[in-house]
Amino acid sequence: MYSQEIESLLKSKKIRIGDKVLIIRGKSEYAGILMPRIKLGDVSSLVIKLPNGYNIGIKHEKDMKIRRLEPGRPIRFKPAEAVQRKDPEKPTVSILGCGGTIASRVEYTTGAVYPAFSPADLLLSFPELADIANIKSRKLFDLLSEDMTPEHWKIIAQEVVKEIQSGVDGVVLMHGTDTLHYTAAALSFMLRDLPVPVVLVGAQRSSDRGSSDNLVNLVSATVVAAQSSIAEVVVCMHGSMSDDFCYLHQGTKVRKLHTSRRDAFQSVNVRPYAKIFYPDKKIEYLRNDYKVREKKTVKLDDKLNTNVALVYVYPGIKPEFIQSLRNFDGIVIAGTGLGHVPTNPMNDKFTQSLLPSLRNLIHSNIPVVIAPQTIYGRLDLDVYEAGRMLNEIGVIGDGCDWTPETALVKLMWVIGHTKEMGKVKEMMLTNYAGELGDRTV
Amino acid sequence: MMDKKINYGSLRMKAGLELHQQLDTTRKLFCNCSTGMKERLPTATITRKLHPVASELGMVDIAAQFEYLRDRSFHYQIFNNETCLVELDEEPPHHLNSEALEIALQIALLLNCEVPNEIFVMRKTVIDGSNTSGFQRTVIVGINGHISYKGKRIPITQVTLEEDAAAIVGEENGKATYRLNRLGVPLVEIDTGILEGYSPMELQDIAYQIGILARSTSKTKHGLGSIRQDVNVSIRNGPRTEVKGVQELGLLSKIVEFEVQRQMKEKPKEETRAANLDGTTRFLRPLPGANRMYPETDIPPVIIVKEYIENLKKNLPEPWTNKLERFKAKLRLPDGLAREILGSEYLSLFEKIVSTKKVEPTIVANAFTSVMKDLERREKIEITRISEYRFVEIFDCLQNKEITKEAIPEIIKYLAAYPQNGVGDALKELDLKPLTTADVREITKEIVSQPNIKFEKAYGIVMSKVRGKIDAQEVMKIVKSMMK
């Protein structure tokens, strides 16, 4: 929005955003299209797009005159018809949109980005998809992934089940990347007995640019959904900084490990399931311990208790902080090193042990789960005194190789099923979706 | 052959100039990498594809892009200190480099432009692979400017600050290789309006004038490729051709002449052509349509405060167009030499010396231009090894008549070979004490007394004995007079 002064000036002159206008200020004249005011910058400057496409800001001053040269034409993006004829020889893939960078389009006049999810939009932007499969697509919601909640995971799980029941050969979920690995873990627990692959895919570079990773990622994900023999929740993202291949990661063993690089997603403690080469679209399997496609009926198990906290341990952390967590139904502690928290066995005068407060939580039937803040590696609570003391008070996680995020999602799912402490521990230590590996690589 | 009789006026030749000048900032425009472009060997290479992007132009445009990009891959070379994740399109751009912005604004003001109150970085779609992102970031810093040329007003439509593109190494079988160290170096583009009624030579001179105005900031890069010009040409209101990448200013008039002749012979098309080294051009690609330009949403707009611009205006450097006139009028440099010293890296040293020492400016200018070029080219001397104050020492000696101007090349040679030694050492070791005419007469007497000796030979022998110690003209006079 422009400043009130400008807004009322425009109103009085009946000038609207998108009109071609002439601004006269002193001896200077500027003709161009009046642009909407973005939030950043100076709201008392008028933004116009010059005929050569550049935007400039012109400060509103008293002696300034503005008049309309031509009314604006509503600019609407009209994609050419790109309708795919169904090919019975080809598998069918359902692409569901959950938002994010991967499938948005820029409107070149205003620079506004809007989602593009219809099959026509997708096939226009990614014509290669039609070579791989018959494409069904629809939008579930359009959300920045940092705004996603466990409620959204449930909606996604339910819609994926519907798609699978309709008989598709695979499902692709287009998702924002920030929390994509949380959703992948959640779906891994909630979708039981998958007969076909469910592939999460995102993009690290916006789709308006010719260099976006969305094409390679989406094409590879669709290849996996259509052809792979894997019937699990998986994540398909760039494998390197080049546009040469994608990695296919196990849904519970993957994490975003870089803020911006294309290969931000990495398998943690395991090798990826496969490599998908681009532009050859060939799959090279790197492991064979995955669940395979077979005729099965998918089951939805979406009971979650989301009243769970994830706490990062740091030097000087206060026991009061831990005590303040007593209103949660479960706690994940991202511990240091092999899974530690301050326990002060040397009775140092500065150190405050977290043991008493953690013990209190466990005694009030709040499960405490440990995960490594190092991300990579396996927990071991037998090596040092701190670990042994944590084991003694009954924390869960010794020997586990889960990421903090997977541990968090699993705890939500487990305490959605039981409140009984013994059962919680037993379920947490049961491998449901490959989240617990017995060999670290 | 060049047709001297072409009447450009009756052909209604129209031309537009676009000048690109790299700025000599420490850091790149949108990241903190060095702009040095000194690294020779890449540390790694990555491979990318570009794919068509949807636009309001619809399917046809996409299809064309798709066809163009289908079998092409781009290989990007990475260099130590000169590339980071920003050039690799693996990290969002940092804020606009304020040093570069200030220089660009100074250039805009030197070209009498108006500066917008708020500037917006835009993305200009580029799919030839020269930008890893698929677009070039560019921002208008000045519009509606002008310069005067022979009393006429040359319109400057706009001045933009943009990121330079990656330089192509080569292309084979659809594999194009680029060096990423040039990508992101700040570049100022200056566009003129349509120029009508000027000869090719005048167009070249206008380009020169604009170029030196930009360089008045002393914050521009030197050397081949640091300034590049494009020229748009049309005749008889016909289609416009764009010739890109003229790196030698001296070629511009020739290129315009050839292009006009080509357009007279062939039926011109709207297209982009590339400049060849001999001044002819070759087809590059069809002219891009309406620029697909949209805001760079990763960079906030920059508000240009009025007081800041007023302050810049007050402290603008002397325009080099004025400096050129001053060099000619006050320092009595011939036009060619004045232009040469303006283009020299030693300009500021030259100005310092002529303003503080009583020496003939032409001698100083020559020393920094033709003498040095000659030594570098013919004798492979590394002038850069000599520090500035050694040059000041040389002209001190000249001022105090301890040496003649003829000794300068010998001293430079010596200093480049022994950078730790001073001018005093050079004088001692090279025996460069100036000779009097009496000394030379003494030497000449012996030589001309040889039977049947010709003037050329005698002069040569004398010169070999007195080189660097007295003016050659003087020697010639003496030998001539003594042979009579």
Distance CA A345, CA A347 (A): 6
- Average pLDDT score, chain B: 89
User: Average pLDDT, stretch B312-316?
Assistant: 96
Q: Has residue A9 got a pLDDT over 70?
A: yes
Cβ pair A52:B293 closer than 8 A? yes
Q: Which is more confidently placed, B402 or A256? A: A256
Q: Among B48, B116, B133, whose Cβ lies nearest the Cβ of A58?
A: B116
Question: Which tokens hold the place of B441?
Answer: 């007469």
- Which of B30, B31, B53 is the mutation pick for testing A, counting most A CBs within 10 A? B53
Spell B194-232 as b/e; 16+ CB within 10 A means b: ebeebbbebbbbbbbbbbbbbbbbebbbeeeebbbbbbb
Q: Which long-range contacts (CB under 8 A, 24 or more apart) does B435-438 make?
A: B435/B466, B435/B469, B435/B470, B437/B470, B437/B474, B437/B478
Q: pLDDT (tens digit, 9 = 90+) per residue, A261-313?
A: 999 999 999 999 999 999 999 999 999 999 999 999 999 999 999 999 999 99
Residues A408-429 have a mean pLDDT of: 98
A14 in active site: no
Contact (CB<8Å) A45/B303: yes
User: What pLDDT does residue B57 have?
Assistant: 45
For position A111, what pLDDT does the model report?
Answer: 60
C-alpha A139/C-alpha B137 separation (Å) is 32
Q: Which of A42, A108, A113 is nearest residue B292 as measured by Cβ atoms? A: A108
Higher pLDDT, B289 or B207: B207
Q: What is the pLDDT of residues A199-242, one digit of tens each?
A: 999 999 988 788 999 999 999 999 999 999 999 999 999 999 99
Cα A275 to Cα A160: distance, rounded to the nearest angstrom:
24
Question: How is residue B207 written in tokens?
Answer: 């380009």
Exposure of B318 by Cβ count < 10 A (0-12 exposed, 13-18 middle, 19+ buried)? exposed
Give the span between the Cα atoms of B369 and B327, in whole angstroms: 15
For residue B132, give how far its alpha carbon lies from the nearest alpha carbon of chain A (Å).
7
pLDDT at A142: 83
Residue B407 has a pLDDT of 87
Shortest CB distance from A80 goes to which of B59, B92, B301? B59
What is the chain A residue with the closest CA to B138? A54
Q: Is the pLDDT of residue A109 over 70?
A: no
Confidence tier at A108 by pLDDT (50, 70, 90): low
pLDDT of residue B328: 95
- Gap between the Cα atoms of B437 and B252, Å rounded: 48
> Which letter, b or e, does each residue of A296-314 get, where b requires 16 or more Cβ atoms within 10 Å of its Cβ?
eebebebebbbebbbbebe
Nearest to B294 among A111, A124, A205 (CB): A111
Q: Where are the domains of chain B?
A: 14-295, 320-430, 437-483
pLDDT at B59: 47
pLDDT (0 to 100) of residue B71? 82
Which residue of B54, B89, B302 is in closest CB contact with A105?
A: B54
Structure confidence by residue, pLDDT tens digits, A241-260: 999 999 999 999 999 999 99
CA-closest candidate to residue A140, choices A103, A110, A171, A99: A99
Task: Determine, for residues A55 and B114 on separate chains, whether the beta-carbon distance falls below 8 Å.
Answer: no
pLDDT digits (tens, 9 = 90+) for B61-80: 556 666 677 788 999 999 99
Contact between chains at B117 and A45 (C-beta distance less than 8 A): yes
CB–CB of A211 and B119 under 8 A? no
Residue A178 among the catalytic residues: yes
Nearest-neighbour CA in chain A from B88: distance (Å):
8
CA-nearest residue of chain A to B91?
Answer: A260
Q: Which residues of B touch A210 (CB under 8 A)?
A: 50-53, 65, 69, 125, 127, 133-135
B88-112 per-position pLDDT tens digit: 999 999 999 999 999 999 999 999 9
With a cut of 90, say whether residue B213 has pLDDT above it. yes
Q: Output the furthest CA–CA distance in chain B (Å, rounded).
A: 92
Compare all CA atoms of chain A with the CA of B114 and give the residue at the minimum distance: A28
Q: Is the pLDDT of residue A331 over 90?
A: yes
Query: What per-residue string of b and e applies to B267-288 under the rule 16 or more CB within 10 Å gives b?
Result: ebeebbbebeeebebeebeeee
Residue B58's pLDDT band (boundaries 50, 70, 90)? very low
pLDDT of residue B100: 98
| Mean pLDDT (whole number) for B412-432 | 87
Among A429-438, B234-243, B307-316, B318-327, whose mean pLDDT is lowest? B234-243
Q: Which has the minimum average pLDDT: A101-110, A295-304, B199-208?
A: A101-110
The answer to whether A256 is a known catalytic residue is yes
**pLDDT at res. B290:** 53
- Amino acid (one-letter) located at B154: I
Complex-level ipTM: 0.92
Q: Do A53 and B46 touch (CB under 8 A)?
A: no
Check A108 against B89: CB less than 8 A apart: no
Does the beta-carbon distance from B117 to A58 stay under 8 Å? Answer: yes
Distance, CA of A205 to CA of B92 (rounded, Å): 9
Residues of A whose CB is below 8 A from B58: 78-80
pLDDT, tens only, A351-390: 999 999 999 999 999 999 999 999 999 999 999 999 999 9
Candidate from A188-197, A337-346, B8-17, B330-339 with smallest mean pLDDT: B8-17
Asked if pLDDT for residue B2 goes beyond 70, the answer is no
CB contact set of B239 (below 8 Å; sequence gap of 6+): B268, B269, B270
SS3 of chain A: the string is CCCHHHHHHHHHCCCCCCCEEEEEECCEEEEEEECCCCCCCCCCEEEEECCCCCEEEEECCCCCEEEEEECCCCCCCCCCCCCCCCCCCCCEEEEEECCCCCCEEECCCCCCEEECCCHHHHHHHCCCHHHHCEEEEEECCCCCHHHCCHHHHHHHHHHHHHHHHCCCCEEEEECCCCCHHHHHHHHHHHEECCCCCEEEECCCCCCCCCCCCHHHHHHHHHHHHHHCCECCEEEEEECCCCCCEEEEEECCCEEECCCCCCCCEEECCCCCCEEEECCCCCEEECCCCCCECCCCCCEECCCCCCCEEEEECCCCCCHHHHHCCCCCCEEEEEEECCCECCCCCCCCCCCCCCHHHHHHHHHCCCCEEEEECCCCCCCCCCCCHHHHHHHHHCCECCCCCCCHHHHHHHHHHHHCCCCCHHHHHHHHCCCCCCCCCCCCC
Domains and CATH numbers, chain A: 4-70 (2.30.30.520), 92-300 (3.40.50.1170), 308-428 (3.40.50.40)
